[in-house]
Amino acid sequence: MSVQLETISEETVRELSEGRDEPEWLLQQRLDALEALDELPFPDVIQTPGRKWTDLADLDYESMVDPFSQTEEKEWEADDGIDVLPFHEAVEREESLVRDAFGSVVDPETNYLTALSTALFSTGTVIYVPEGVDAEDVTIRTTMNGRSLFNYTLVVTEKSSSVTILERQETGEDLDGSRYYSGLTEIVGGENAYVQYGSLQDLDQETYNYQLKEAEVDTYGQVDFIDVNIGSRLTKSSVETHLNGDSSETKMVGAFYGHDDQHFDIDARVWHNAEHTTADLVTRGVIDDEARSVYEGVQNVGREAWDTNSYQRENTLMLSDESEADASPKLIINNHDTEASHSATVGQVDQQDLFYMESRGVNERLAKNMLVEGFYVPVLEEIEVEELREDLTERVRERLRARA
Amino acid sequence: MSSDQDHLKETDTEARFEFKKEEASAFKSEKGLTEETIRVISEDKDEPEWMLERRLRALRQFQEMPMPTDWPGQPDLSEVDIDEIVPYIRPDIDVRGGVDDWEDLPDDIKDTFDKLGIPEAEKNALSGVGAQYESEIVYQNMQEQWEEKGVIFMDMDRAVQEHPEIVKEHFMTKCVPPSDNKFAALHGAIWSGGSFVYVPEDTTVNMPVQAYFRMNSEGMGQFEHTLIIAEENSEVHYIEGCSAPKYSSFNLHSGGVEVFVKEGAHVQYSTVQNWSKNTYNLNTKRAIAEKDATMEWVSGSMGSKATMLYPSTILKGPGATDNHITIAFAGEGQDIDTGAKVYHNAPNTKSTIESKSIAKDGGRTNYRGLVHIADGAENSSTSVECDALMFDNESTSDTMPYMEIEESKVDVAHEATVGKIGDEDVFYLQSRGLDDDDAKQMIVAGFIEPITEELPIEYAVELNRLIELEMEGSLG
């Protein structure tokens, strides 16, 4: 299942770790992940007889992954009162905090690509919100310049704290050929804490992108994800929440816009592991040209999850005949005291709406564009960070303007 | 109508399905599956060479294919050991292809079907009946008025002899090739019995034809093949019923159903399966619908230990329509993994899938469905609705739909809900004087009504009665 990368050996990992003055435990975690590579499969992709909806095994990682040319520009903006630190500074200054949390939510050996990320990550951010602190906005901006970049984001929130995070990924100067971006995000949601983590993936269309964002939520806590995918050649993005505390909640909001020959494989998964938990999954995507979207949403209600509420909606708008949209919204229900539903639709811009607008004097192209923009409203409404709302709206407009 | 209902109510449904008969066979193949077994079956049936060739090719495909194990959450098939299965049992009856007078059946077989209520149903509501006991059809009758119009309803073994050209063209070629999956290959190798239905152009058979399959022996496999061909602008409703008593070792049922719905034709295929709870029910059922044709699948899956069954329709011609209505009921120790597959391969095609499931006492139901809309199938629409009802916290109910949409001018909608039986509903009915059990049964009856109203009354009553019995288990 896995691929053997000639460029990566124990030496590579040791050198990477030494160059960053890492403590022994972190080096050991990296080496464990490296060793596990041989055994681990690629991330799950949806398969129906005769079809794999996304094929990752065919990617030429050999030509893209270059552990020593990981260069990026990073900016951080944050309120006072919380720690937002570059990963390695955090390891120095808050070692026990990082040590406890690192790998506690995302198992590095979840699959081949998470292990590769753990073994090779060179950059990242640690956000720590102490008890009772309300941190408004944290912004992390990563511009990738090298052939490959492995990024790690760790968020730890204490009891009754709150934070809103926006993480953006972009590519800088042009490179010939493909590149690979890999990002892991783990969020420890404390008791009664609130986290909204939004990400805007706007990499160039030569970039292959793998991301896993995973949260654990304690009692009364809430962790919301906003997962916006605009860029990349191929994206495999997984957003996962484990509702481990009673009365915990999550909202998982997804938005994507695929054009040209982009391929988005998006999944959103929630595990209801405790009582009175609530999940709301909303994803809206537009695909155009020869783009392809693959969506999987899983609502998993455990045996002990009494009084669960779990809802999922997924809607895809197809603007072109060459595009393809695949969806599989799954319900796994092991407790009968559950209210769960999912719905999914795929279709074109509503012809009646279009007709109505045209009858009011709006020309067809403008009317269509307005309807596509309007399609994202249920997603936009969930985004707390104004910058993310504006950027998503602007990217959508740009794409619509560029349509022939 | 009321007399039918009374008849069915008077018969104790449990006794109807659970009784056992001494095994009395004229010919019983060895356990397991070898080329030799296949040759023996084929020879015993006096088959033409081409059928033997097809069987042997299917056997090779079966041997090459792995067991399906990689589907998320699929039923456990580790107990299914083909070497332990008796693939072929010919009951002790003289007339090959069955008798056409009920009175000519040997007493013990007649008794079996009497208990199941088959002759009663035939008298009252059917155009024709076929009854299969173990691997062979033992009774076959078609009302004369249909025979005169050229409608053919006979068992598959006889069809191979009497209509070789039609069978050769359609049998496991275009619709369900043995290469489709491991159990289709198995079926292709050792199929036996089943029904052949042929409806000529412009002919409407306005009463259903029915086949009833009964597995009576321990550790056997039943592999009946059903081939339905509805020519242009014809119409037919085919009903299949199945049962087997429970033995200690497992049984395997691996049927194959192929339906050809030609231009403008309309076929409804209805089935209520109530295999015993040690039966593995692994079938492949598929229809090809041509231009403006309509295919309807109505199925109730009650029995079996594990079922993997996803009736599928290929909407091949423009304007073709598919409707699926399914109900699954899983009680203790049962894993009913069932759903629907629809391929929209032409413009203006339409499909609707309505699935209801009930899980109780640790049973598991899963809706596993696939809707594929091919590039070019413009103005196609599909709507999938799944509702699951859960009785208790030992049960599991999953929904795993897959949608592959390659065409933009489409209307695709999928909706699913899961919930427990509503306390308020129960309370309301109780306040009207019903006791708890009756209230729950009434709610379930209401929940499955969309299915029952599609079935002929005998089947609807039977389905309701079966569900009552299942529910009494823990409610009583």
Q: Tell me what pLDDT residue B144 has.
A: 72
Question: What are B256's two structure tokens?
Answer: 């194959």
What's B220's DSSP letter?
B
Q: Tell me what pLDDT residue A394 has.
A: 96
Q: Tell me what pLDDT residue A170 has.
A: 95
pLDDT digits (tens, 9 = 90+) for B162-215: 999 999 999 999 999 999 999 999 999 999 888 899 999 999 998 788 887 776
Separation between Cα atoms, residue B364 and residue B395, nearest integer Å: 6
* pLDDT value at B425 more than 50: yes
CA distances from A375 to A342, A358, A372 (A): 19, 18, 5
Residues lower than pLDDT 50 in chain A: 1
The label of the residue with tokens 């059917």 reads B126
The answer to whether the Cβ–Cβ distance between B402 and A316 falls below 8 Å is: no
Q: Tell me what pLDDT residue B53 has.
A: 96
Query: Residues B331, B473: contact at Cβ < 8 Å?
Result: yes
Nearby residues of A403 by Cβ (< 8 Å), 6 or more positions away: A288, A319
Asked if B30 reaches chain A (Cβ–Cβ under 8 Å), the answer is no
Q: Tell me what pLDDT residue B85 has.
A: 76
Q: Tell me what pLDDT residue B3 has.
A: 40
Of A333, A345, A348, the CB nearest to B390: A333
Q: What is the mean pLDDT of residues B289-310?
A: 93
Taken in order B33, B39, B40, B43, is the CA torsion positive or negative? positive
Chain A CB contacts of B418 under 8 Å are: 331, 333, 338-341
Q: Tell me what pLDDT residue A1 has.
A: 46
DSSP string across A47-88: EETTEES---TTS-HHHH--GGG--EEEEEE--TTSEEEEHH
Which of A341, A331, A334, A332 is closest to A309 using CA atoms? Answer: A341
* pLDDT value at B219 more than 90: no
Distance of CA A142 to the CA centre of its chain: 14
Separation between Cα atoms, residue A155 and residue A137, nearest integer Å: 13
* pLDDT value at B95 more than 60: no
Asked if B474 reaches chain A (Cβ–Cβ under 8 Å), the answer is no
Q: How confident is the model at residue B20 (pLDDT cuts 50, 70, 90)?
A: low
φ, ψ for residue B64 (rounded to 5)? -80, -30
Of A327, A335, A341, the CB nearest to B403: A327
CA distances from A322 to A207, A378, B74 (A): 22, 26, 33
Q: Show which residues on chain A lie within 8 Å of chain B, measured between beta carbons.
A: 46-49, 51, 53, 303, 316, 318-348
- A-B CB pairs within 8 A amount to 116
Tell me what percent of the residues of chain B surpass a pLDDT of 90. 49
Which of A400, A382, A343 is closest to A164 using CA atoms? Answer: A382
- A interface test, pick of B385, B386, B389, B399 with most A CB neighbours within 10 Å: B399
Rounded to 5 degrees, what angle do the CA atoms A170, A176, A180 make?
45
pLDDT digits (tens, 9 = 90+) for B239-298: 887 766 666 667 888 999 999 999 999 999 998 887 888 889 999 999 999 999 999 999
Q: Tell me what pLDDT residue B406 has.
A: 95
Alpha-carbon gap: A301 to the closest alpha carbon of chain B (Å): 10
Q: Tell me what pLDDT residue B22 has.
A: 61
Separation between Cα atoms, residue B388 and residue B78, nearest integer Å: 27
Better-predicted residue by pLDDT, B111 or B365: B365
Alpha-carbon gap: B254 to the closest alpha carbon of chain A (Å): 19
* pLDDT value at B70 more than 90: no
- Do the bridges between strand A308-318 and strand A324-333 make them parallel or antiparallel, or are there none, so unpaired? unpaired
- A interface test, pick of B74, B409, B418, B423 with most A CB neighbours within 10 Å: B418
pLDDT digits (tens, 9 = 90+) for B135-145: 666 666 767 77
Q: How confident is the model at residue B115 (pLDDT cuts 50, 70, 90)?
A: low
Q: Tell me what pLDDT residue B475 has.
A: 33
Question: What are B364's two structure tokens?
Answer: 């598991």
- Judged by DSSP in three states, B25 sits in strand
Chain B CB contacts of A331 under 8 Å are: 388, 397-400, 416, 418
Amino acid identity of residue B337, one-letter, is D
